[in-house]
């Protein structure tokens, strides 16, 4: 279920704010009934009309993108920087990223035009496991790794328990490669977690999202998810809610 004004905006009828005005002016009907209240939610089977004209909804699409470093996880950027939707210029659907990856972080990000699916994937109680591999400054002692696993205190609260494993160490350069598995999705969370234990991130990549990985993809590549993959993602997220 999605908010009515969002569905209208997503159909390309008007901006979100203009859609709200259309609703309040009594120019929108849902299943033949005028709706003037904001916040009403509608499903995929509801018939929506604006000024007596039925809106056309896009068929849902789902993609996995190998986001390169130096790309914004947004549909546009006021500074003119490259954004993830630039890799889908031939896709007519108005897609957007599910969650985000930092500008300097590469790896898996999901793209869709299905708001209900996106909300399910990002729900705080249904966050799926995400696996990151970080190159960090310093060589963390076992006690520091245990801190990551138990949860570290950040400015927006303590992180949930995670799984961490040191993959390799370069004593000469004073750097390490660490794998971190988390279920949360806070802003710059992984970088802030490593900073909290005194080992700032030098390079970061999200290698896995649930069961999805980057096999067969290079930076900038994308592929459409299968119906089975979408179903499995929904099932996993709903199990944890």
Enzyme catalytic residues: 102
Q: Which residues contact 3 (CB under 8 A, 6 or more apart)?
A: 38, 39, 40, 41, 42
Strand locations in the chain (E): 2-3, 28-30, 33-34, 41-42, 48-50, 53-54, 62-67, 96-98, 105-112, 130-137, 153-154, 157-158, 163-170, 175-182, 201-209, 212-213, 222-224
Cα within 13 Å of Cα(174), Cβ side: 4
CB atoms within 10 A of CB 28: 25
DSSP class of residue 57 equals P
Q: Quick check: 126 and 104 in contact, CB under 8 A?
A: no
First-last CA distance in the chain = 16
Closest alpha carbon to 159 in 201, 134, 196, 121: 196
Q: Where are the alpha helices (DSSP H) in the chain?
A: 4-10, 16-24, 115-122, 142-150, 189-196, 227-239
Angstrom CA distances, 142 to 27, 66, 148, 173, stand at: 63, 32, 10, 19
């Amino acid at each position: 279920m999605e908010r009515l004004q969002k569905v209208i905006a997503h159909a390309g009828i008007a901006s979100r704010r203009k859609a709200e005005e259309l609703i309040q002016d009594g120019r929108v009907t849902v299943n033949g009934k005028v709706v003037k209240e904001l916040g009403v939610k509608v499903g995929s089977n509801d018939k929506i009309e604006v000024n007596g004209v039925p809106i056309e909804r896009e068929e849902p699409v789902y993609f996995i993108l190998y986001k390169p470093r130096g790309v914004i996880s947004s549909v546009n950027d006021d500074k003119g920087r490259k954004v993830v939707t630039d890799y889908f210029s031939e896709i007519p659907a108005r897609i957007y990223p599910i969650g985000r990856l930092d500008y300097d972080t590469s790896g898996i990000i999901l793209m869709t035009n299905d708001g209900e699916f996106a909300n399910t994937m990002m729900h705080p109680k249904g966050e799926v496991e995400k696996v990151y591999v970080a190159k960090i400054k310093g060589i963390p002692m076992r006690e520091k790794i245990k801190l990551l696993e138990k949860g570290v205190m950040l400015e927006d609260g303590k992180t949930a328990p995670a799984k961490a494993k040191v993959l390799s160490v370069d004593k000469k350069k004073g750097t390490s490669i660490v794998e971190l598995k988390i279920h949360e999705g806070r802003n710059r969370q992984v970088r802030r977690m490593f900073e909290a234990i005194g080992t700032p991130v030098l390079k970061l990549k999200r290698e896995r999202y649930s069961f999805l990985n980057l096999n067969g993809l290079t930076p900038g590549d994308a592929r459409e998810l299968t119906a089975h993959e979408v179903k499995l993602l929904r099932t996993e997220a709903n199990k944890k809610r």
